[in-house]
Amino acid sequence: MYARRPIEPLLWLFFSAGGVMAALFFPAILFLFGIAFPLGWLAPPNYDHLLAVVSHPLTRLVLLGVCSLSLFHWAHRFRYTLYDGLQIKHLNESINAICYGGAVLGTLTAAYLLWKVP
């Protein structure tokens, strides 16, 4: 009989990939849309240009990857914060379902919203 393989290495892979994606993309996005465009340092793109960029399938795939991996990064970090910080390891199954279920639900929501863009 085959031994059951743990899913933990896959979760750590999603955690590290999400951390890298968040560290690379979110600061640039926050700088552009939170500081540079509102303060007039750079000319903001118009709606038609942003819609054209987001309508490209590769851009949608990258946005879905960034959203999904960032959500799994959050889920894994929050799970271990609850385990180690609050010492509630006895709620293992519930915490896993809430954390990773929330990441899956957020990923499905992001996929739906990106699919819905014209």
CA atoms of 53 and 47, how far apart (whole Å): 10
pLDDT score of 92: 81
How many Cβ atoms from other residues are within 10 Å of residue 17's Cβ? 16
Q: What is the CA radius of gyration of the chain?
A: 18
Span 26-77, pLDDT tens digits: 899 899 999 999 999 999 999 999 999 999 999 999 999 999 999 999 998 9
- Do the Cβ atoms of 58 and 114 come closer than 8 Å? no
Q: Regarding predicted confidence, which is higher, 75 or 118?
A: 75
CA atoms of 70 and 13, how far apart (whole Å): 12
pLDDT score of 91: 83
Residue 74 in tokens? 């959050």
Work out the end-to-end distance of the chain between its first and last CA atoms, rounded to an integer number of angstroms. 50
Sequence ranges of the domains in the chain:
9-116
> 9-116 belongs to which CATH class?
mainly alpha
